[in-house]
Amino acid sequence: MTLPHHRLDGPEDGTPLILGPSLGTSLAVWEPQVPALTRHHRVLRYDLPGHGGGAGHGAAVAPGGERTTVAGLASRVLALADHHGWETFRYAGISLGGGIGTHLAVHHPERITSLALVCSSAWFGEPAGWHERAALVRDDGTRSLLEATPGRWFADPERMTGTKLGARLLADLAEADPDGYAACCEALADFDARRALPRITAPTLVVAGASDPATPPAHAGELAGGIRSARLVEVPGAAHLAGVEQPGAVTDALLAHWDGAAPPHTAGERGRA
């Protein structure tokens, strides 16, 4: 298996932490959190097939022309962990990246010591919508998504598209390989982990953007309600890329989850015993 494009940051003896991105973005989506997370973690960020540093290689999404699945994407993450000698690791993922983490926690619980699901879901909606988007992108490319995307990604799209990181992530979307993006859409269409959530034993943080139209707070509530060890934090003033739009609140929630820091005062929180 060809390893996904990835990057390592932080001390070599730090606690292993893998960060998964959202559909249409690159590993840059985690940049606001990296300075804080690398204080004590060896952080590995990876790109989805055809995204970021993997753009132009969408045809190699799955071997032998097989259909891309979340399970297959998760196996790529395990290959990365194995390559770096990590028997166990912490994992955080945004949206599709979170779905990959959910699959890992359900099917490979011995590898995941702690889990964070950011603006994610156990089920990303009716398959037809994802198949329609996959067909659109294969016909017209990912640039056809640029007009609608800022309103999904950001609660304040006008402000965020004017930032350096917001503009970079939109450029990553425009440059994504259509086949790779479409294959990830098809993986989302097939994903449904709702009945499997009670099998997750790793301590879990669920983060929701209060204004997220793609994975609304109700989706986060379903995750937190189904996972026995979950804590839910809702971030005001954030849509789907909450960690980009409200980086402090998301970073604080992650640090509280992993380091026992005080919970963020900027986020509404609902805990579960």
Q: Which domains does the chain have, with CATH numbers?
A: 6-270 (3.40.50.1820)
Q: Please give the biggest Cα pair distance in the chain.
A: 49
- The answer, as to whether pTM is greater than 0.85, is yes
- For 157, what's the count of Cα atoms within 13 Å in the CB-facing half-sphere? 13
So what's the pLDDT on residue 268? Answer: 44
DSSP string, 70-121: HHHHHHHHHHHHHHTT-SSEEEEEETHHHHHHHHHHHH-TTTEEEEEEES--
Q: Which H or E run contains 82?
A: helix 70-83
- Cβ atoms of residues 152 and 196 within 8 Å: no
- Of 235, 243, 244, nearest to 265 by C-alpha is 235
**Exposed e or buried b per residue across 201-218, where buried means at least 16 C-beta atoms within 10 angstroms of its C-beta:** ebbbbbbbbbbbebbbbe
The pLDDT tens digits of the residues spanning 64-108 come to 567 899 999 999 999 999 999 999 999 999 999 999 999 999 999
Say which amino acid occupies 7: R
Check if the beta carbon of residue 192 is closer than 8 Å to that of residue 185: no
Per-residue pLDDT reduced to its tens digit, 97-123:
999 999 999 999 999 999 999 999 999
Q: Is 141 a residue whose pLDDT tops 90?
A: yes
**Cα(65)–Cα(110) distance, integer angstroms:** 30
Please list the residues that pair with 221 across neighbouring strands: none
Least Cα distance to 112 among 139, 140, 93 occurs for: 93
Provide the token pair at 31.
């940049």
